[in-house]
Amino acid sequence: MNDLLSAEIEETIKSCLPETCELTAGVNEMMLYSLESGGKRVRPALCLMFCAAAGGEAENAMYFASAVEYIHTYSLIHDDLPCMDNDDFRRGKPSSHKKFGEANALLAGDALLTRAFGILAKAAKEGKVGAEGCLRAVKELSRLAGAQGMVGGQDIDLMFEKKEASGEVLFTMDALKTGALIEAACVLGCIAAGANDQRIAAAREFAENLGLAFQITDDILEYNDENNSDVLNGKATYVSVFGMEKARALASEFTEKAVRALDEFERPEELRLFALSLLGRKK
């Protein structure tokens, strides 16, 4: 994703905050604190790149990309809470609950989650995507962010805290917890471009494999981190289950499968390079 689009997505994310009165302005402050926490913007980038790869104008997918990032950010706020992963820091900054308190962090997450669907409606209202496309986007995002997707994966994660988990459990959990929201980003990009069902299916295949490769790479990078919450909470990781060498091989294998799924698109090169860059990242 080029610098111009990167700057535009940052501006769009901020512009999508809801209007508030003086008494509720603090909610926006808490939402913005986590939205600006310095993430890699993987999901918005994928949304915009799939829109372009499917023959659309990436700018028309800006609201869709922002909605997915709002969902992702809410999930991180809730993940960090003491009742979940109990992380005091997120990307070098105090977690939302350490900055604003647990109750306010819950509210910030709730506000981000609900605002995401208002942003999808905004895309229809401003004519960026047709009403039918926006309705389809609502259906996809609500499913993939909820019990059938990300939330379901988080539930499996909690279920196996301090328990042994097989490789099959890890694959299922991360296909939901990590992969589902990546799938939402890829599919919403295709929807914004008016892509056909065949390309949307290819986007899903890409996302499924990239999500697993992404999580395995995270486990590899965090293996020696003494503050790793997964280790502290007794959770299984790909390194603990498969060993470092096999984990690296799996990350490469899933990345290769993701890249092959892009053959369905006319302009897939940017997505190929992006997938390979995620595999080779150092943090």
Bridge partners of residue 187, in order along the sequence: none
CB-based burial label for 90 (10 Å; 0-12, 13-18, 19+):
buried
- Cα-based distances in Å from 9 to 5, 63, 67, 149, 216: 6, 9, 11, 25, 27
> Which pLDDT belongs to residue 216?
96
Q: What is the pTM of this model?
A: 0.94
Count of all residues that appear for the chain in the document: 283
- Cα-based distances in Å from 7 to 10, 200, 237: 5, 27, 35
**CA pair distance 15, 36, nearest whole angstrom:** 13
> Which pLDDT belongs to residue 225?
66
**CA pair distance 283, 267, nearest whole angstrom:** 28
**CA pair distance 71, 271, nearest whole angstrom:** 22
Residue owning tokens 């603990």: 240
Could you give the 3-state DSSP secondary structure of residue 94?
Answer: strand
> Which pLDDT belongs to residue 40?
87
The pair of structure tokens assigned to 232 is 């502290």
> Which pLDDT belongs to residue 57?
95
Per-residue pLDDT of the chain (283 residues; tens, 9 = 90+): 777 788 999 999 999 999 999 999 999 999 999 999 878 899 999 999 999 999 999 999 999 999 999 999 999 999 999 999 899 999 889 999 999 999 999 999 999 999 999 999 999 999 999 999 999 999 999 999 999 999 999 999 999 888 888 999 999 999 999 999 999 999 999 999 999 999 999 999 999 999 999 999 999 998 876 556 666 666 789 999 999 999 999 999 999 999 999 999 988 999 999 999 999 887 7
- Nearest alpha carbon to residue 189 among 176, 203, 178, 175: 203
- Nearest alpha carbon to residue 90 among 45, 18, 54, 38: 38
Task: Determine the number of helices (DSSP H) and then strands (DSSP E) in the chain.
Answer: 15, 2
Residue ranges and CATH numbers for the domains of the chain are 3-279 (1.10.600.10)
> Which pLDDT belongs to residue 39?
81
